[in-house]
Structure 1
Amino acid sequence: MMNIRSLQLLLSLLVGSTVVAWEHIDEDAFRRAIAGHNYALVAFIEPSTAASQALEPEWTSALEKEKKGLISIDCSSAPSLCREFDVISCPALRFFDGHGNTAPYRGPRRTSSILAYLKRAIRPIITSLDSDAKISAFQSSDDYTAIAQINPQDSHVKTAYETLASQYRDRVSFGLVEVTDIPTAVGCYNNCDSLQFTISDFTSIDALPKLIENCLEPVIGEFTRASEVKYLQSGKSLVFYFTTSPKDRDAYVDTMRSVAKMYKEYLSFVTVDANEYGDLTAPLGLAPATLPRLSVQNPMFGQVFPYPRSRKITPEAVGGFLMDIVQGKQKPWDGTFTADEAGGHARDEL
């Protein structure tokens, strides 16, 4: 009888495309992979879970681009190994640095972010930069980079910066320039959203942590189990974009970034995986069959403003919709679905 892997390969030949699939290793191969001074980013997965299934195409795409340092374990086949490494829920991504240290991966579970993390993880915690050319190249070398220009007289800032680099090295690349003729300053660069944050006043003990947190805050974030409380308690209205497709999500972020920047002080723009949060569409006035869709919620007053299904989701149209809400021209949803909304199956286009 043909096994599943053989069937996948046969299907790929028949349709002329590659079928993505996990390439797990067993326990012995895993222990060899993390032995000595070998580094590895390990995905502990459970094939039956939706989250592991969602990770699969992103992980296999990353594996096609970077063969070294990416391995996966099927916890349904190696349960004792997963328990040994305290894997409570799947997927769990852990980085093994080859020196006995392990760190969780906390970034987005997408190909580009996984590869960026792997590149970042094998760098020094802080990279010394001794020329303008190196500074310029380093600044744009990662999604998020921090560069400190530190005068020797401010050794306390250097100590705080080193501590911060150890804490955030999984998300930010840190560089250091030693200067003697200019004051100490630290800059953080959000290259995803083309934003820059700089401080030179270090009298506040949380000045550096706040700098990094502000830098890491995306203009359009993801509404997840880990972030939902933060967004719901932010005091801002939320602009939800529901989709089941990562490609739709990425296209929306690229398209809507300029509008999100304009309203960043007052609104939180977030994307939502409708596979995971399908039950949230109805309370926001959206019929699941009409995804991808957008809706605005004001948690403080309990108001919801579903974006019309018939209107394309473009920066100009969404900007106008938000302005209509502000000016009172757009009335809150009354809690009932029109026949068009409830029965519609059309798909808005970006």
Structure 2
Amino acid sequence: MKGIVAERHWPCFAAALLQIHMWLRSPLSLCSVPPRAVMLLRSDSMFQAELHSQKMLLVQFFTPRCGQCMRLAPEFEEAAIRLAGVGVLVKVDCTATAKICRTYKIATYPTLKLFRRGAEAGTYQGSFTAASIVRYIRKQTMPNSQEIRSLEQLENFLKDTDASTVGFFADRRSPNLHKFLKAESALEIYRFAYTSVPELLQRQGIDTEGIVLFRPPHLHNKFEDGAVTFKGPFSVARIKKFIQKNISGLCPVMTLENREQLREKDLMLAFYNVDYTKNPRGTSYWRNRIMMVAKKFRGAGETLSYAIANRQEFWFELPDYGMQSGSGELPDVVIRTTEGHKYVMREAFTRDGTALERFLQQYFNGKLKRYFRSQPVPEENAGPVQVIVADNFNNVVNNRDKDVMINFFAPWCGLCKSLEPKYRELAEKLIHDPHVVIVQMDATANDVPPPYDVTGFPTIYFVPMQSKHAPKLYEGDWRVNDLLSYIERKSSYQLVLTAGERRRTEEL
């Protein structure tokens, strides 16, 4: 769940501080409440009015029970505050205004779409953080690709802390320049420039045209080239693929902005004091040790991505791996796959890289034991609803002698609290049934194993005796009778109800 509690509360706290600051500066603050920076468009007429009255509009299409939407909410609010006067951010609830969402073919939530003067101008592909959204919108107000007209301009452009992609074209009318600009439009979260200055082409050894991706100066090292040149025929698709493949390099620095992009692949991550401003030598020292080992495995054909991250910046993720935030010098190393499997390096990181090499070799050989974040197994489970944790999940839920209904909840979730008495009543009705067990698990304190997909709270699954590999997502109403009727239809045996419930059923 990626440290969902901390992830929710810190952005919310930051956004709240910004709102309070703006509110207190208002002369009406003593007799009013802080305004919301993001307007909820509740009808098609509201949407159309806002769409055609704004030069630039970023719309978040969401659903209330979507977990990712909940996590985005405070970030989106903070971005709106920081972008006041630059762009307008609004929200559309697709459960209340389904027609609008069908019009724009919204299939996943949340989806962010940009509109210019009423016309759709693209779908946001960046991370769901305030910083990334702000950067995206600010870039919309600038020219697309910056044109470089001198060596000094080029050198200044390449000094940025992010990678830079530069197109070199002898003729500004080249059709390949047009393809380069189209690729730039599709990858707006990255930095682009182009030039047709003969001297600059000559310095890069380019005769007529070419594309070079320059890595940031502070990340230059002996294990990979500081610049990568595009090769082969020009096409928008090939240019995009070239940039996406090379933009991160062998071992990038993970930030809040690029976190989601890096996690689209299986990733080894090293947490330590990553700081190229205050600790450049120490940061480079450990990164070089990681790259030395990573390059060896890459050369052997093993596929795994690598990154480093500041331990203090990502303090909220450390409990996901059983770690505490600290200031130790040695990197803490973990692996997280796209399936959510986690592995933790227990051996202390060695300066010669041998401990890391052993850890990775065991991972590639399939000999590492997965790590599960779990609360302690309850000593007593006397209540009608059995409390389970990651460590006893398999024993309880995958028991082939039991049908199981499981509620994945979050302690802070208001909807979960409203469900709680109904869920307990359901369990009380089935407390004497030897074939059915009603359980719940705090999905913010325990890892949820695949194939369970928990993106919002509460999420309820029914797990039949003979189909433990294929749990069924419950999508019905939360009324007790609806839950009970569902279990009755799906259960492996006829339900054994409490005496009072049996009598009531017979009377009906």
* TM-score, normalised by the number of residues in structure 2: 0.45
Pair 1:187 & 2:221 matched: no
Task: Report the CA distance between 1:53 and its aligned residue.
Answer: 1.3
Is the aligned partner of 1:212 residue 2:243?
yes
Aligned residues of 1:325 and 1:331 also touching (Cα < 8 A): no
Show the counterpart of 2:268. Answer: 239
Q: Distance in 2 between matches of 1:49 and 1:97?
A: 27
Q: 1:290 maps to which residue?
A: 322
CA distance in 2, matches of 1:298, 1:66: 35
What displacement does 1:21 show? 6.8
Unaligned runs of 5+ residues in structure 1 are 1-7, 233-237, 242-248, 272-285, 345-350
Does 2:121 align with 1:102? yes
> Partners of 1:208 and 1:134 in 2: how far apart?
23
Seen in structure 2, the aligned counterparts of structure 1 residues 223 and 60 have a Cα distance that, compared at 3 Å, is closer
In structure 2, runs of 5+ residues without a counterpart are 1-11, 24-33, 221-225, 277-282, 299-303, 309-317, 325-331, 379-390, 392-508
Alignment pair present for 1:65 and 2:82:
yes
The 3-state SS of whatever aligns with 1:107 is coil
CA distance in 2, matches of 1:324, 1:20: 55
Q: Secondary structure at the match of 2:106?
A: coil
Cα–Cα, structure 1 residues 335 and 152, in superposed 2: closer, same or farther, change >3 Å? Answer: closer
CA distance in 1, matches of 2:67, 2:375: 31
Letter in 2 for 1:188: L
- Give the aligned partner of residue 268 of structure 1: 305
Q: Is the Cα–Cα contact under 8 Å of residues 159 and 217 in structure 2 kept in the other structure?
A: no
- Equivalent in 163, 176, 179 of residue 194 of structure 2: 176
Residues 185 and 198, structure 1, Cα contact 8 Å, conserved in 2: no
The match for 1:149 is: 168
Q: Which has the greater radius of gyration?
A: 2
Q: Distance in 1 between matches of 2:345 and 2:40?
A: 46
- Is 1:24 the equivalent of 2:24? no
User: Could you tell me how far apart the structure 2 residues matched to 1:38 and 1:29 are?
Assistant: 16
Q: Could you tell me how far apart the structure 1 residues matched to 2:358 and 2:96 are?
A: 55
Q: Say if 1:287 and 1:342, in contact at 8 Å, map to a contact too.
A: no
Per-residue Cα deviation, 1:213-267 (whole angstroms, up to 9, x for no partner):
233336357886x987x736xxxxx5268xxxxxxx9988987755554444434
Q: How far apart in 1 are the matches of 2:161 and 2:48? A: 30
1-structure distance, mates of 2:189, 2:99? 30
- 2:358 is the counterpart of 1:324: yes
**CA distance in structure 1 between the aligned counterparts of 2:274 and 2:62, rounded to whole angstroms:** 28
Aligned mates of 2:57, 2:120 — CA distance in 1: 11
Q: Secondary structure at the match of 1:217?
A: coil
Equivalent in the alignment of 2:100: 81
Question: Alignment partner of 1:101: what SS?
Answer: strand
Contact in 2 for aligned 1:193/1:257 (Cα 8 Å): no
What CA distance in whole angstroms lies between the structure 2 residues aligned with 1:208 and 1:150?
Answer: 15
One-letter amino acid matched to 1:48: R
Aligned partner letter, 1:322:
L
Q: How many residues align?
A: 297
CA separation in 1, counterparts of 2:82 and 2:158?
Answer: 23
Worse-matched range after superposition: 80-89 or 109-118 = 80-89
The match for 1:117 is 136
In the superposition, relative to structure 1, how do residues 331 and 114 fare at CA in structure 2: closer, same or farther (>3 Å)?
Answer: closer
The answer to whether residue 177 in structure 2 is matched with residue 158 in structure 1 is yes
The answer to whether the 8 Å contact 2:83/2:134 transfers is: yes
- Alignment correspondent of 1:90: 109
SS in structure 2 opposite 1:35? helix
Q: Tell me if structure 1 keeps the 8 A contact 2:163–2:215.
A: yes
Alpha-carbon separation, structure 1, partners of 2:231 and 2:102: 46
- TM-score normalised by L of structure 1: 0.62
Distance 1:297 1:319, change over 3 A: farther
C-alpha deviation, 1:204, in angstroms = 7.6
Alpha-carbon distance in 2 for matches of 1:21, 1:200: 46
Whole-Å Cα distance in 2 between the matches of residues 204 and 257 of structure 1?
34
- The amino acid of 2:81's aligned partner reads E
Q: Deviation at 1:94?
A: 0.9
The one-character-per-residue Cα deviations of 1:58-79 (angstroms, maximum 9, x if unpaired) are: 2222222211324121414433
Gap change, CA 1:296 and 1:144, over 3 Å in 2: closer
Partner-residue secondary structure (3-state), 2:75: helix
Q: Sequence identity of aligned pairs in percent? A: 14
Q: How many Å separate the matches in 1 of 2:244 and 2:166?
A: 15
Q: Indicate if the aligned counterparts of 2:56 and 2:88 stay in contact, CA closer than 8 A.
A: no
- 1:48 is aligned to 65
